[in-house]
Structure 1
Amino acid sequence: MNRIQKFFTQIKGLLVHRFFQVLLFIILGLFAYGLMFSNVKPERVQVELFKPAEQTIRSTKTVEDTYKTEQEKEEISKQVADVYSLKKEYAKNKVDLISSIFDSAIEVNKETDPDHKEDEEKEDKKEPVKTDAQKVSILKEKLTDEVNKNIEESVFLALVQADEDELKIAKDSTITAVNNVMSSRIAASDVENAKKKVVEELGYMSINGDMKKASTSLARTAIIQNVFFDKDKTEEQRRKAVESVEPIRILQGQIIVEENQLVDRDVYRQLELAGFLNTESTIYPYIGLLLFIFLTFAAFYYYFYYSISKKDNKYNQLLIFSLVFILSMATMKTVSILADLKNSNLEYIFPGAMAAMLIKILLNDKLAVAMIILLGSYGTIIFNGDTPGNLDFSMGLYIIFGGLTAIIILSRPNFKSKVLVAGLLMSLINMAFVFSLIFIMDSHYTRMEYLYYAAAAIGSGVGSAVLTMGLLPFFEAGFGILSSIKLIELANPNHPLLRRILIEAPGTYHHSVMVANLAESACEAIGSNGLLARVGSYYHDIGKTKRPHFFIENQMNEENPHDRLQPETSRDIIIAHAVDGGEMLRSHKFPKEIVDIAEQHHGTTLLKFFYHKAKKQDESTLEAAYRYPGPRAIMKEVAVIGIADSVEAAVRSMKHPTPEKIEELVSFIIQDRISDGQFDECDITMRELSIVKHSLCESLNGIFHSRIEYPEPDKLEQKVKE
């Protein structure tokens, strides 16, 4: 074990105690707090009224500018025009008045005209004929004093002198003209024009001159203002206009004053509103940051210590997660400082997906997603442009989106072995996402700035992939992790041990490849690591290379040496291949999982052939003496490989395998291992064993399918002649 592994093993030993577990989270929290402290520290600026600002100042919070809001409301209120209401009843009243005057005149004429009285009334009364003055007096008595006051004497005289027909014609014409004019809006300034209009309408009336003048005078008198200022409606309109005014705010991140800009009273007032002129210190940002960090790490503490059951795996995951977090946060802060120094958007080059890719490859998807969400959340604070209180949500989205993209890409088949290809693909997606943010914010940049953003996005994707490839070996060496990339390297046919099997034990090599195909399909069917099963199967019989000819698959038309050996000797040779295989793999520094497969794939099964052979020679032979030393399978992958190993050898020895025979054989082997207790230390379930059986049968039927029986050469020649 190298020094790195020893160091991390010692740390894992400390993490067994709850005190050191809590201490680790406290250290991580303090580390994050220290990096983000300057990004939330309240900023105090030195500005003086009517002097240029020494720096560009952005608002750290969103506040309402009440002064400007009130100014805006006053301006909007002044812009609301006065509301004038039309009094429609005025037109009806004037029409009724004109009608009453003419009706009264008609009545007077009837009462005073002898021609309108009955003959008896004429003979009895024989009243003298009324003069025009008397008729006018009678007419006035029928009207009110207010009406009489507004009508000229000449009008009364014309009314009493006209006959009934003339009065009716004049009445209709006058009422029509007055109604037409009064139906339209007449403001105070428009009254005279309205009177002229009614005169024009009556100019075409076909009656004598005096009656026309009287009608015109009455019509002019009837025309009055019918539109008046409506105070209530005006106030209502102004109130609605004022309520529609949105409060004017100084937005978080908004530039209040540019560098070297004169600080006038308006700018000074805004700085005061934003709290930059407040000399009192506040601890709320520090408390907020502390609470935020506490909540995030409390969630991770709960996950690590209540959701992960295997202790050794738990401590491994915790240490890897902590190291990747520290590395990513340090990189993030460094990029942030460089971006501030150069006053550019260098933050888009941050390789945020590196953390997601490392956690995805080394641990699992859940922790990878959790890590990238955590980094995205902290990124909104660290990349706030050193403006305390600001949160750069666009940068947080960029980090989260890039990390999730990396996780999805690496979830595709064979992409774990092509991290650089995944990084290139992620670069294109990052670039598209950056441009989507720019276009959504409707930002306007030069062509060079667009190229800069594209280069930063590409650099982020490629940088994440390169860093992932560079850091993976250190994590694998330090924690003894068997990653997918490492497995693919071990599966290379040019590996020295695989070439040794191929050269020294070709039959074993072919057998191992067949077992690998069977085990991989079965493991993937139950959700286990198919790649581990394949690679483990390649090396599970590496121990046979020490004595290859003592194993039947390597005996090419040779005499079986076991026929000349005692059962005890044959037993020792056969059993030794599992032990020898483990030692050989350890000497070549193979991962523990591969070593376990070599040692455990036979478990403690019985060498039945040699046991029964020995039993015939000596009845006192103990069964335990002819069992493999074990240990039994602990991982599901080992259990599946053990079944596939026995099944492949048994089916290959069958003369005419059929689907029915294969299924019966597989069922027998699995049931035999269950009854022998070979799965007692493994968490494989009966349902999963049923799935394994189905998968093995399908694979074996594809391999050992029935073939066409070709005729012998002489029979074939005879058939051709026929």
Structure 2
Amino acid sequence: MQTHPLLHKIRKFLSYRLFTNLMFILLGLIVFGILYGNVKPKPLDISLYEEAPSTIRAPKTLEDKEATEKKKEDAAAQIEKVYSAKEGAVDNAVTLVSSLIDSVLDVKGEFKEVSPEEEAANPKNSQINKQIEELKKRLPDRNDNLVTKSLTDKILESLLSASDTELERVESIVTTQLQVIMQDKVKEEELKEARVNLEQRIKNFTFSGTLSDAAVALGNVAIEPTEYYDEEKTEQLKKQAVKEVQPVKVIDGEVIVEEGDLVTPAIYDTLNDFGMVEEDFSLKPIIGLILFIVVIISSLYYFFYTLEVKEEQKQNYLILTSIVFVISLLIMKITGLLKQLEINDIAFLFPAAFTGMILRILLNERIAMMMVFIIAACASIVFNEEFSGSIDIQVAIYTLFSGVAGIMTLISRNQRTNVLRAGIYVAFVNILIIAFLVLLSDVSYTSTEYIYYLVFALVSGIGSSILTIGFLPFFETGFGILSSMRLVELSSPNQPLLKKLLTEAPGTYHHSVMVANLAESACEAIGANGLLARVGCYYHDVGKSKRPHFFIENQMNIENPHDRMTPETSRTIIIDHATDGADMLRKHKLPKEIIDIAEQHHGTTLLKYFYYKAKEQGKDVSEEEYRYPGPKPQTKETAIINIADSVEAAVRSKTSPTQEEIRNLVAAIVKDRLNDGQFNECDLSLKELEKVKKSLCETLNGIYHPRIEYPELKDKGEE
């Protein structure tokens, strides 16, 4: 890639780092200026209790928090209290009654053993009081003091005064009724009702004296809930119910208010939640846009910072990418203006694949893929229905898949017809994506709308390829980019210089084609640009067309003119073919990469034949006088052409070379170049050199393989 003269002048005044930083800042400002109009708050001219001037739809999906909260409260309120069974409640009640009766019997038994004298000395009331006091000491001690509170002295006296038979009957009746009532599950709040029921049941039986009240008191003391309120489990169920409540949402595209309908407080609040009626200027969308641009610029900065190319080439890539980015945004904005025609989903008309396709052709797949993601994000803002804070996810998905399809389907970048074919593939992908989005929304569309979508998909895909083809020449010329398409065009035999070489130096032309075959295969073996190597080989010896007969491949049945010339003159003629070729290529305005190959394909190698010829003639000469001026190969492609050029000439001089001879020749030439330091200025590794040697040998073996010698045919008349 060549540097534009204007950019070159600017770089003279600015350092590379400062120039790059200024480019990023300028790009950020341009993107901000383009996207600002799509995030700037635009409140609706609408008031409460007035008719809506037009139908207003939700610009994005938004949760109705108030409705969601009410729904959660209702869900929690519907959860009934959870009760857990109290294990052994019935047995505990029965045991308590039995224990109380046993205590009464025990106390009565102890006081029966008192002697008549003691009994006469103590009145009856005094005896009962002692029994009551003793019985109180034996009553169960519970935290709620229910036993001591419920069993009054009167109740205890009634029990102590009863006979053993009566006490056993009381115990039997109370325990039986307790079991009947408590087996029906008694909850805490139902305990009062259960005691009333128990009292009624016990009083259905006949007791002597006050034993009926004592039996009821015993039952009230013993009865307890068989199920208790489990607050923890109840809260868990409420939390689970609240958790399962789906948020109440206003769906993207849903009608908030129809044209002419009254704007109620609920509708007004919904519009306010979307930021459609705010009159105060808000900085939030602006800050959000700034953060979005910071993410984009940071991503680009990191990407180009880690790009392993020369600094100048890296800046050219950045400038080119920035220009394509801005052009895409402008096309996006122009497409967005068509929304004024009141055509739904005009965003699908945007040529989303243009950015990825042109960057893949001009630069590489990584840059193209990265920019497709950025363009998709920008499209979600540009086509956001102009409501602050909203983005269009559908457009982002459509733009992303369309852009990726453009990159993936552009398999061959060598011909412009392939770009058109890729555009048709993109259109097909667009149709599938639009169909996916339309069917997923489950909204009814008219046949006219379906036709619109089909046309939009086709125009977007084919339009992307047309824009790509249209902009390519400008970028190739303006930045001196040698794209694959340009290389294919340069490889045509109808190119003036190749036609001149073919007609005036056919031997050189044939040699160039053979070298091109060798170099292309070797470059592809190590991942270098095989097409550039091939086309570069076609032009690398074009300087020989100036004096074709001074080169052996063009000397057919004529005397070698070098036999009658001094070594110095021959040296000058041979060496000049590299500089002459570079001058001719510059005159015809061929790309710099091709000129560099013509100038560097011999590096600074020594013209050994004429050097030693001069030495044999006794002349005092130095090696520097018989070396090509260079420079040495600067790229892998040029270095491989350097090897392939010498290898082809050396093998061609052999008569029916064997595989062993070819292998030895290739190894010797590579070793000679290494020892001579010809590859010191390019990044060709020794590992790659081994692959290059293997590829050259395979290609040469295919060209110079042994052939069957056919028997000479005799004329039938001679038989």
Query: TM-score with structure 1 length normalisation?
Result: 0.76
Report how far residue 24 of structure 1 moved: 3.4
C-alpha distance in structure 2 between counterparts of 1:433 and 1:360, whole Å? 22
- CA contact under 8 A between 2:562 and 2:570: conserved in structure 1? no
Report how far residue 535 of structure 1 moved: 0.7
Match in the other structure for 1:453 = 453
2:383 aligned with 1:387: no
Amino acid at match of 1:653: S
2:395 is paired with a residue whose SS is: helix
Report how far residue 29 of structure 1 moved: 1.9
Match in the other structure for 1:43 = 42
- CA contact under 8 A between 1:603 and 1:628: conserved in structure 2? yes
C-alpha distance in structure 2 between counterparts of 1:46 and 1:405, whole Å? 42
Report how far residue 309 of structure 1 moved: 5.0
Match in the other structure for 1:586 = 586
Match in the other structure for 1:141 = none
Q: Where do residues 413-424 of structure 1 align in structure 2 (5 Å cutoff)?
A: 418-424=418-424
C-alpha distance in structure 1 between counterparts of 2:251 and 2:9, whole Å? 48
Over 3 Å counting, the alpha-carbon distance change for 1:241 and 1:524 in structure 2 is closer
C-alpha distance in structure 2 between counterparts of 1:579 and 1:240, whole Å? 85
Match in the other structure for 1:443 = 442
C-alpha distance in structure 2 between counterparts of 1:642 and 1:83, whole Å? 89
Report how far residue 343 of structure 1 moved: 4.1
Q: Where do residues 588-667 of structure 1 align in structure 2 (5 Å cutoff)?
A: 588-667=588-667
Match in the other structure for 1:9 = 5
C-alpha distance in structure 1 between counterparts of 2:70 and 2:675, whole Å? 89
Q: Deviations over 1:210-234 (max 9, x none)?
A: xxxxxxxx9xxx9x99998959589
Over 3 Å counting, the alpha-carbon distance change for 1:656 and 1:21 in structure 2 is closer
2:634 is paired with a residue whose SS is: coil
Q: Where do residues 296-307 of structure 1 align in structure 2 (5 Å cutoff)?
A: 296-301=296-301, 303-304=303-304, 307=307
- CA contact under 8 A between 1:41 and 1:285: conserved in structure 2? yes
Q: Deviations over 1:582-640 (max 9, x none)?
A: 23323332212112222321223233223333333342344444333333322221221
Report how far residue 415 of structure 1 moved: 7.5
C-alpha distance in structure 2 between counterparts of 1:308 and 1:416, whole Å? 29
Match in the other structure for 2:313 = 313
Match in the other structure for 2:294 = 294
Over 3 Å counting, the alpha-carbon distance change for 1:616 and 1:661 in structure 2 is same
Report how far residue 576 of structure 1 moved: 3.4
C-alpha distance in structure 2 between counterparts of 1:21 and 1:97, whole Å? 93
Match in the other structure for 1:54 = 53
C-alpha distance in structure 1 between counterparts of 2:85 and 2:310, whole Å? 86
C-alpha distance in structure 1 between counterparts of 2:672 and 2:714, whole Å? 46
Match in the other structure for 1:269 = 269
Over 3 Å counting, the alpha-carbon distance change for 1:589 and 1:97 in structure 2 is closer
2:698 aligned with 1:698: yes
Match in the other structure for 1:105 = none
Over 3 Å counting, the alpha-carbon distance change for 1:697 and 1:413 in structure 2 is farther
2:565 aligned with 1:566: yes
Match in the other structure for 2:134 = none
Is 637-646 or 402-411 further displaced after alignment?
Answer: 402-411
C-alpha distance in structure 2 between counterparts of 1:531 and 1:417, whole Å? 18
Report how far residue 272 of structure 1 moved: 4.0
- CA contact under 8 A between 1:417 and 1:488: conserved in structure 2? no
What is the total number of aligned residue pairs between the two structures? 676
Match in the other structure for 1:519 = 519
C-alpha distance in structure 2 between counterparts of 1:359 and 1:491, whole Å? 23
Report how far residue 238 of structure 1 moved: 7.6
Report how far residue 284 of structure 1 moved: 2.2
Match in the other structure for 2:509 = 509
C-alpha distance in structure 2 between counterparts of 1:563 and 1:237, whole Å? 103
Over 3 Å counting, the alpha-carbon distance change for 1:605 and 1:63 in structure 2 is closer
Over 3 Å counting, the alpha-carbon distance change for 1:563 and 1:85 in structure 2 is closer
C-alpha distance in structure 2 between counterparts of 1:96 and 1:10, whole Å? 107
Report how far residue 351 of structure 1 moved: 1.4
- CA contact under 8 A between 2:475 and 2:481: conserved in structure 1? yes
- CA contact under 8 A between 1:416 and 1:484: conserved in structure 2? no
Q: Where do residues 397-412 of structure 1 align in structure 2 (5 Å cutoff)?
A: 397-411=397-411
Q: Where do residues 680-691 of structure 1 align in structure 2 (5 Å cutoff)?
A: 680-691=680-691
Report how far residue 70 of structure 1 moved: 4.5
Report how far residue 654 of structure 1 moved: 1.2
Over 3 Å counting, the alpha-carbon distance change for 1:73 and 1:358 in structure 2 is closer
C-alpha distance in structure 2 between counterparts of 1:407 and 1:316, whole Å? 21
- CA contact under 8 A between 1:361 and 1:416: conserved in structure 2? no
Over 3 Å counting, the alpha-carbon distance change for 1:247 and 1:17 in structure 2 is farther
2:390 is paired with a residue whose SS is: coil
Amino acid at match of 2:460: S
Is 707-716 or 309-318 further displaced after alignment?
Answer: 707-716
Over 3 Å counting, the alpha-carbon distance change for 1:530 and 1:640 in structure 2 is same
C-alpha distance in structure 2 between counterparts of 1:683 and 1:474, whole Å? 31
Over 3 Å counting, the alpha-carbon distance change for 1:391 and 1:711 in structure 2 is closer
Amino acid at match of 1:517: N
C-alpha distance in structure 1 between counterparts of 2:311 and 2:570, whole Å? 41
2:281 is paired with a residue whose SS is: coil
Match in the other structure for 2:554 = 554
Over 3 Å counting, the alpha-carbon distance change for 1:17 and 1:450 in structure 2 is farther
C-alpha distance in structure 2 between counterparts of 1:684 and 1:410, whole Å? 29
Amino acid at match of 1:54: P
Report how far residue 357 of structure 1 moved: 1.6
2:428 is paired with a residue whose SS is: helix
Match in the other structure for 1:331 = 331
Over 3 Å counting, the alpha-carbon distance change for 1:307 and 1:713 in structure 2 is closer
Match in the other structure for 1:362 = 362
1:663 is paired with a residue whose SS is: helix
- CA contact under 8 A between 1:65 and 1:247: conserved in structure 2? no
2:242 aligned with 1:243: yes
Match in the other structure for 2:157 = none
- CA contact under 8 A between 1:377 and 1:396: conserved in structure 2? yes
Report how far residue 442 of structure 1 moved: 3.6
Report how far residue 304 of structure 1 moved: 4.2
Amino acid at match of 2:266: D
C-alpha distance in structure 1 between counterparts of 2:358 and 2:392, whole Å? 25
Over 3 Å counting, the alpha-carbon distance change for 1:289 and 1:349 in structure 2 is same
Amino acid at match of 1:32: V
Q: How much identity, in percent, do the aligned residues show?
A: 45
Over 3 Å counting, the alpha-carbon distance change for 1:594 and 1:278 in structure 2 is closer
Q: Deviations over 1:555-581 (max 9, x none)?
A: 33x033326521344334333332332
Q: Deviations over 1:236-288 (max 9, x none)?
A: 48844763364745558565434333211221233344444443322222122
Is 35-44 or 232-241 further displaced after alignment?
Answer: 232-241
Over 3 Å counting, the alpha-carbon distance change for 1:562 and 1:712 in structure 2 is farther
2:530 aligned with 1:534: no
Report how far residue 539 of structure 1 moved: 1.8
1:418 is paired with a residue whose SS is: helix
2:322 aligned with 1:322: yes
Q: Deviations over 1:42-95 (max 9, x none)?
A: 232232222222244456787764543443244335544566777886876899
2:677 is paired with a residue whose SS is: coil
Over 3 Å counting, the alpha-carbon distance change for 1:93 and 1:712 in structure 2 is closer
Amino acid at match of 2:385: G
Amino acid at match of 1:593: E
C-alpha distance in structure 1 between counterparts of 2:681 and 2:92, whole Å? 107
Over 3 Å counting, the alpha-carbon distance change for 1:13 and 1:80 in structure 2 is same
- CA contact under 8 A between 2:414 and 2:484: conserved in structure 1? no
1:661 is paired with a residue whose SS is: helix
